[in-house]
Structure 1
């Protein structure tokens, strides 16, 4: 069974202009994919979250990650996307699903 990715998943459809505006394009990619248990290690998320906090496309990035990851659990998600850790993205996904069901 494959482990979580240590790189950003490719965004389908091409022509994703928000990515060219992302501040992470000029940052060290390693800060967005901390070593160890990426799903729970939020202490290592600080440097990436600092970059994300100033990013003009933070929401686009988060939405792309949520769309690509779908219903995957935290062990199948990796990296900091849209300022969120894998566990935070799982929580967002669950909250949205509960709202849809209500």
Structure 2
């Protein structure tokens, strides 16, 4: 039996991905999702425009989750810009620490300091 060529065309379709349903996919110019690339005076306006598209997106939660997992350093993802995502991550970490402390799973630093 002949061995298939490694140069054969890929005939299998790609599995569906959440990003295929993104509202941003329908835009011709997706540069608005990277407001850092615009002149300083336009950053807020462009960012606001990108967030308006995100607000109508059916996969906004999946987009934000993916950007937080990577972590995505630039652009508007899941309706949040890079600074908002950074603050969001800090809030999540604080919540996890508080929850861990309440459940008795402290990190040991509190016990060593005598505050636990």
List gaps (5 residues or longer) in structure 2. Answer: 1-13, 99-116
Q: Does the 8 Å CA contact 1:42/1:85 hold for their aligned counterparts?
A: no
Greater relative contact order, per chain length (Cα 8 Å cut-off, separation 6+): 1
List gaps (5 residues or longer) in structure 1. Answer: 1-13, 71-76
RMSD of aligned Cα (Å): 2.2
Indicate which of 43, 68, 83 corresponds to 2:79: 83
Deviations 1:31-87 (A, max 9, x none): 10122589xx433201111110100000000000000018xxxxxx11000010100
Give the count of matched residue pairs: 81
User: Which residue number in structure 1 is paired with residue 25 of structure 2?
Assistant: 25
User: Which residue number in structure 1 is paired with residue 10 of structure 2?
Assistant: none
Tell me how far apart the structure 1 counterparts of residues 65 and 22 of structure 2 sit (CA, whole Å): 14
User: Which residue number in structure 2 is paired with residue 97 of structure 1?
Assistant: 93
Structure number with the higher helix fraction is 2
How high is the TM-score relative to the length of structure 1?
0.70
- Residue 79 of structure 1 aligns to a residue whose secondary structure is coil
Which has the higher Rg, Structure 1 or Structure 2? 2
Could you list the structure 1 runs, at least 4 aligned residues long, displaced by more than 3 angstroms after superposition.
none
How high is the TM-score relative to the length of structure 2?
0.62
Cα gap change, 1:69/1:15 in structure 2, threshold over 3 Å: closer, same or farther?
farther
